[in-house]
């Protein structure tokens, strides 16, 4: 029994309409923030990103990353920027938004925008996409989600194994580079500063 179903098993349309109305208001506020509120959020984010990461071990041992797959593409992000990984539930498509915004989803009570990075970076892949997992990205708290078909494992990638690749120029500063086995290494700090991913709640 869900919270939109009465004890007799019939759909509670009034409650459902209320939930949709609240979601609509949240989406409108997210995509049309006031100038002052957007400036304040960006300043807080810039201040947080300006703090140096204590990653001395990266120099000698490389980056500790979470890896995942979307169709034939494999991605990785530093564990310091991964808040949690969850199954996608109730992904709601938002009309008239960029194609790389797959929708908004509820992760432990938090409404987060969920992005398909392949569309943001204009990657092309073969096969069918499931996008059944969401990787919540943030420092102090979850800022947004990245969709994935499957999550693989946590590994450490040697710094000298990451090389720049012009094929990912569309990713801008959000892509550190890639490894010899075609693992795309994302830059967490750059993702959190990327204007295209800025959604103000």
Which tokens in the block code for residue 67? Answer: 């890896």
45-98 pLDDT per residue, tens = 555 544 444 444 444 578 999 999 998 889 999 999 999 999 998 889 888 888
More confident residue, 97 or 19: 97
Question: Which residues 6+ apart lie within 8 Å of 140 measured at CB?
Answer: 48
Say which DSSP state 183 is in: E
In a domain, 5, yes or no: no
- In order, the DSSP letters of 110-175 are EEEEEE-HHHHHT----S-----EEEEEESSSEEEEEEESEEEEEEEE-GGG-B--GGGGGGGGGE
Is residue 177 a contact partner of residue 162, using CB atoms and an 8 Å limit?
yes
Is residue 188 a contact partner of residue 80, using CB atoms and an 8 Å limit?
yes
113-158 pLDDT per residue, tens = 999 988 887 776 655 577 899 999 998 888 999 999 999 999 999 9
Is residue 197 a contact partner of residue 98, using CB atoms and an 8 Å limit?
no
- Tell me the C-alpha distance between 112 and 138, whole Å: 11
- Tell me the C-alpha distance between 122 and 114, whole Å: 16
- Tell me the C-alpha distance between 131 and 71, whole Å: 9
Is residue 192 a contact partner of residue 143, using CB atoms and an 8 Å limit?
yes
Which tokens in the block code for residue 27? Answer: 């989406």
In a domain, 134, yes or no: yes
Place of tokens 């759909």: 11
In a domain, 101, yes or no: yes
- Quote the number of domains for the chain: 1
| CATH assignment of the domain containing 97 | 2.40.50.180
In a domain, 17, yes or no: no
- pLDDT recorded at residue 131: 83
Place of tokens 């409108």: 28
In a domain, 12, yes or no: no
In a domain, 163, yes or no: yes
pLDDT-derived band at 41, boundaries 50, 70, 90 = low
Q: Which residue segment(s) compose the domain that 145 sits in?
A: 55-197
3-state secondary structure of 92: strand
Q: Does 177 have pLDDT greater than 80?
A: yes
In a domain, 180, yes or no: yes
Is residue 119 a contact partner of residue 170, using CB atoms and an 8 Å limit?
no
In a domain, 14, yes or no: no
3-state secondary structure of 50: helix
Which tokens in the block code for residue 158? Answer: 């040697």
Q: What pTM was estimated for this model as a whole?
A: 0.66
């Amino acid at each position: 029994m869900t919270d939109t179903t009465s004890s007799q098993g019939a759909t509670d349309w009034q409650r459902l309409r209320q939930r949709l109305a609240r979601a609509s208001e949240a989406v409108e506020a997210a995509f049309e923030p006031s100038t002052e509120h957007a400036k304040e959020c960006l300043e807080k984010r810039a201040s947080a990103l300006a703090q140096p990461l204590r990653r001395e071990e990266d120099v000698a041992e490389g980056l500790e990353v979470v890896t995942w797959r979307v169709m034939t593409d494999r991605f990785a992000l530093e564990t310091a920027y991964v808040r949690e990984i969850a199954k996608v539930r109730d992904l709601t498509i938002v009309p008239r938004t960029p194609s790389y915004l797959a929708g908004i989803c509820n992760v432990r009570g938090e409404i987060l925008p969920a992005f398909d990075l392949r569309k943001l970076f204009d990657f092309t892949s073969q096969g069918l996409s499931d996008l059944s997992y969401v990787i919540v990205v943030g420092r102090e708290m979850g800022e947004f989600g990245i969709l994935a078909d499957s999550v693989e494992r946590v590994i450490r990638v040697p710094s000298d194994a990451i090389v720049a690749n012009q094929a990912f120029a569309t990713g801008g500063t959000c892509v550190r580079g890639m490894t010899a086995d075609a693992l795309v290494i994302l830059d967490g700090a750059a993702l959190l500063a990327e204007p295209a991913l800025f959604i103000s709640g």
